[in-house]
Amino acid sequence: MTKDEFYMGKALHEAKIAYNVGEIPIGAIIVFEKKVIASAYNLRETLPCATAHAEVLAIEKACRALSRWRLSGCTLYVTVEPCSMCAGAIVNSRLDRLVYGCDDPKGGAVHSLFCIVNNPSLNHQVSVTSGIREEECSQLMKDFFRQRRQ
């Protein structure tokens, strides 16, 4: 198992918690110096708050953990391709790296619909690795929406 697969497993654990509480099953963790400093899952329905996406919540926790807003030296692992709001937060928090599981063809802003995190017009670009444990991440989303439709 690679380092990325290992950490994606931790993000998947967060996504499964979201699934079990009725939230869209997206989980995120942030790693700094080989240590998980933040973990989160979607809480939009629970809070209720439109910005309570796993990535944003994890970024907020990581900023508090490091007592700084610049998350240079950190990697964000998230089970699904981030949306435009989250991609903007990733750029603005100066994360070095983003690793995600499966694409989001309807809302993804890293590869699918937009390429925000690597836009040369912005003052920061993020290294991206995608497709890590892709089938598990995708299947969790499919199972959730299949259950919701029933």
Tell me the pLDDT tens digit for each residue of 9-40. Answer: 999 999 999 999 999 999 999 999 999 999 99
Topology of the domain covering 3-145: Cytidine Deaminase; domain 2 (3.40.140)
List the domain boundaries for the chain: 3-145
83 is in an annotated binding site: yes
Catalytic residue numbers read 55
* Six-digit token string for 54: 């796993």
Q: Distance between CA 149 and CA 82 in Å, rounded?
A: 23
53 is in an annotated binding site: yes
102 is in an annotated binding site: no
Helix (H) or strand (E) holding 108: none
Handedness of CA 32, 38, 41, 42 (dihedral sign): negative
Q: Distance between CA 77 and CA 65 in Å, rounded?
A: 17
CB–CB of 30/37 below 8 Å? yes
* Six-digit token string for 86: 């989250």
pLDDT digits (tens, 9 = 90+) for 48-98: 999 999 999 999 999 999 999 999 999 999 999 999 999 999 999 999 999
What is the pTM for the complete model shown? 0.98
Helix (H) or strand (E) holding 4: helix 3-20
